[in-house]
Structure 1
C-alpha cells in the first residue's frame, strides 16, 4: 500500500495544471497541427524580430489552454535571438483579477522593469517621480519614509505599491485615485529608464521585450457607462498601453477578441490578436478526431514519463475506451485534461484507473460547469452545439470567458483557417442542456 501511495502521489503531482512548462521542458508537446497550425514563435516572435518599429501585440485564448507555456517558449526563443525579455505573470504579485484597471497594469510593468533592469540602467527618473508623488502616496505605504533611504531601499517601494493594489481593496482605490492623474508623467519617467536600459543591455542583447501574462484572467465587469472594464483597459487606455518604448505583448481576454470591438482592436494594435485555440479532439460534425486525441494522449504520456519512463498512459487505464473518454471529455482543454486526470488519481487506490473512477471525476467537474451556467443561457449553448457558431453578444462572450464555449481551428484543403465553436463536452451530460436542446432541435 505504501508503494502504491508513493507512486500515485508522484503521478498526481506531475499533472499539476497550474504550473506552466518552462521552455525546453521534455513534457512539452507541439500541438500546432491540431490547433490550426498556429505558431507563437512565427506569429508573435517574428513580428518583433522583423519589425523596424516598436510593436505592441495581443495574445488571447481560453484560460488554461496553455498560453503561459507558449509565452515561456517565446521568451526563450527571443532571448536566443538577442532580445532581453522581461516576463511576468501579472496576477501573481501585481493585480487582482476580480478588480483590475489600467493603472494597476502600468504599475506592474514599472515594478517588473525596474527590478529586472535596476543594475543596467539609472532608476533616478522613476525614483524622482515617486518622490514627487510621495505626499499623495505615503499613507498607502504606511511606516515608510523616503528621508535618508538609499536607492536600493527606494526601489522596493514600487513592489509595496503593487502588493497593496493586489491584496488591499481599500488601499487599491486610494492608490488609483492618486496615481491615475499622473500616469502620463509615470510613463515619461519609465521611458527615460527604458531608454537608458536599452543602451546598457547585457552583451549579446539588442532589443527589450515585455511580456505581461495572465491579464486575460481579468474578470469582465460592466461599468457605470454600460461598457465593460475590458474595453476601458484595452481600448480606452490603449495609447498608454502602447506608450512604453519597448516591444510589448499583453494577454487579453478571449471574450474581448470576439466582441463588436474586435476591428477596433486590430486597428489600434496594428494586427489581429493571436489566439491559442483548443486541441481539436472532435470534428464540427461531432465525430472523434483521432489526430487530436492522439496529441492529448501524448500530453498525458510525457507527463507520466517524468515519473517513470517505463510507465504507459494506456496501461494506466483499465480499458482503452476509458482513456479515450478522458481525452474527449477534456474538450482538448489542457488544464481540464490535467484536472480530470488528477481527480481520477485521487479516487484511485491502485492502478489501473477504472471506468467508474473516471466517471466520478467527470461527474464532479460537470457539477462545476452546471453551476456556472445561468438559467437563460442553456438555449444559447444548445444553439452553439447545433450550429457550431457563436453570436456577437455579451451572453456568448461571457460563456467564452467561462470556458463553457470553446474555440477550435483547422486548415482546410485550400490552407484557409476555419474557426468553429462548440460547448464544453462536459455540458452535454447536464440535464438542463439536454432539455434545452431537445426543446429547440428534437425532430417532431
Structure 2
C-alpha cells in the first residue's frame, strides 16, 4: 500500500507541530508545569519572579541551561509572571545586538543593554527619555569624545547597532578606542538606564514601579578556533571582574549565562549581590546517575508530544517514541528533531505505526552527525560517563567542555542534585574506547 494523501497530511501535521520555536505563555501547547513534572527541582521561573518581587532597588539574577532546554520560552513566562505582579518587564534577545563569536567587553556589553532597553521603551511607549534613543547618544559620544576618525560615524545611513552586531572589525575598533573611556561609558549607560527607569515610573504614575530587563541569549557567546579561549575568558571577566558594573542602580536585570560559567567562575552569583544561578536541565529520562529509563520522565515527554499532536499513537508505537525519548537524553529540542527525522522516510501506510526498527535509521543518522570523535575527547567523555561529573582539570580545557555542552555531547540532569552524562547515542562508541587503542 502506498502512502495515501490522508496519511501524508498527518505526517506533515506532526512534522510541523514539532518545529523549533519559542513559545509564549499563552500558546495552547505551552505546558506551564513542565519543569515540576520534569523534576528539575522546583520552578526556576517562579523563584526568579519571587526574588525580583522581594528585591529592593536594583538586582541581578542569573539563568542558565543548555541549548534546547527551553530557556527562551521560560523567560517569556517570566516576563508574563512579572507583569502579573505589577512589574514592568522588558525582554531583549542579545543575538540581535551582540556578535556572539567574538570577545565581549564591559563597555560594548553595557552599550548593547542600554540600546536594547531604549528600543523596548520606544516599542512600548512610542518614545524614549529626552526624545533621543541611546544609540543616538552613543553615536554622538563616539564622534565627539572618542574621535573615531577611521569611520564616519555620523554619516547618513550608518547604523551603529548593526555595525556592532555584524562587523567584527568595527566592534574591535570600538573596543580598542573605548578602553580609555570605560569608566565614562559605564557611568553613561548607568545614567541613561536610571533616567529610563524614572521615565517609565512617570508614565506608569507609580514612583516605586519596578522595572526589569530580561537579557536573553548571552549564553550563546562561544569561542571559535584559535580565539576560543580568549572569548571564554572575556565572558568570565564580564561577569566576575566587572560584576559591580552589571549591578545597575534601580534596574532589575536577568542575565542568561553559559552553562560553563558556574564551572569557570565559581561564586559569580555572590559577586553579583548573592544571586543564585537558576538552571534548566534536560528532562530526567534516566534514573539518578544511571542508564535506567525513568517512566516519569518518559511520561513527561509523551505529554509534550500529545499536546502538540494528540494522535501520535497512529504514527508511533509507544516503544518507538520511548526509544526516541531515551536517545534524545531528555533534551526537548533533540527529541523533537529525532521525531521529525523519522517522518520523511515513511513511504507506505503499512509502515505505521512505526516500531523501534522503524526509527533506528534516524537514530543512526543522528549518531553519525556527532562522529568521528578524537581520542582525547573520547577519553574525557568516558570519564564523564563513569563519574557523572564534568571532570574539568584545567581552565585551558574549557573550550572542549563548552563544545561538549553546546553540542549536547554531554547533557546536564537534576534528580535531587545536578549530574552529567554523555549523549545516549554516543554510549556504544564511548564505552568501546580503550586507552591501549584495542577495541573489545
Q: 1:96 to 1:9 in 2, by over 3 A?
A: farther
1:237 aligns with 2:242: yes
Q: 1:125 to 1:352 in 2, by over 3 A?
A: closer
1:337 aligns with 2:348: no
Q: 1:132 to 1:387 in 2, by over 3 A?
A: closer
Residue 225 (structure 1) shift: 7.5
Tell me the distance in 1 between the aligned counterparts of 2:140 and 2:69.
42
Tell me the distance in 1 between the aligned counterparts of 2:90 and 2:152.
26
1:436 aligns with 2:433: yes
Aligned to 1:176: 175
Aligned to 1:352: 353
Residue 73 (structure 1) shift: 0.5
Aligned to 1:144: 155
Please list the CA deviations of residues 144-196 of structure 1 after superposition, one character each: whole Å capped at 9, or x if unmatched: 25xxxxxxxxxx97xx2221222222222223223444343333333333333
Residue 123 (structure 1) shift: 4.7
Match of 1:131 among 140, 159, 174: 140
Tell me the distance in 2 between the aligned counterparts of 1:292 and 1:89.
30
Aligned to 2:69: 65
Q: 1:428 to 1:192 in 2, by over 3 A?
A: same
Aligned to 1:277: 281
Residue 230 (structure 1) shift: 2.3
Secondary structure in 1 matching 2:248:
coil
Tell me the distance in 2 between the aligned counterparts of 1:375 and 1:389.
19
Q: 1:108 to 1:280 in 2, by over 3 A?
A: same
Please list the CA deviations of residues 419-438 of structure 1 after superposition, one character each: whole Å capped at 9, or x if unmatched: 222111111133xx132269
Tell me the distance in 1 between the aligned counterparts of 2:314 and 2:406.
35
TM-score, normalization by structure 2: 0.84
Q: 1:98 to 1:128 in 2, by over 3 A?
A: closer
Secondary structure in 1 matching 2:160:
helix
Unpaired runs of at least 5, structure 1: 146-155, 305-310, 412-417
Q: Quick check: 1:141–1:161 contact (8 Å CA) kept in 2?
A: no
Residue 269 (structure 1) shift: 4.2
TM-score, normalization by structure 1: 0.83
Residue 124 (structure 1) shift: 4.7
Over aligned residue pairs, what C-alpha RMSD do you find?
3.0
Match of 2:266 among 262, 266, 280: 262
Q: Quick check: 1:86–1:209 contact (8 Å CA) kept in 2?
A: yes
1:328 aligns with 2:326: yes
Q: Quick check: 1:140–1:175 contact (8 Å CA) kept in 2?
A: no
Q: 1:363 to 1:171 in 2, by over 3 A?
A: same
Q: Quick check: 1:58–1:250 contact (8 Å CA) kept in 2?
A: yes
Residue 209 (structure 1) shift: 0.7
1:24 aligns with 2:21: no
Tell me the distance in 1 between the aligned counterparts of 2:205 and 2:39.
34
Secondary structure in 2 matching 1:191:
helix
Tell me the distance in 2 between the aligned counterparts of 1:106 and 1:387.
39
1:50 aligns with 2:49: no
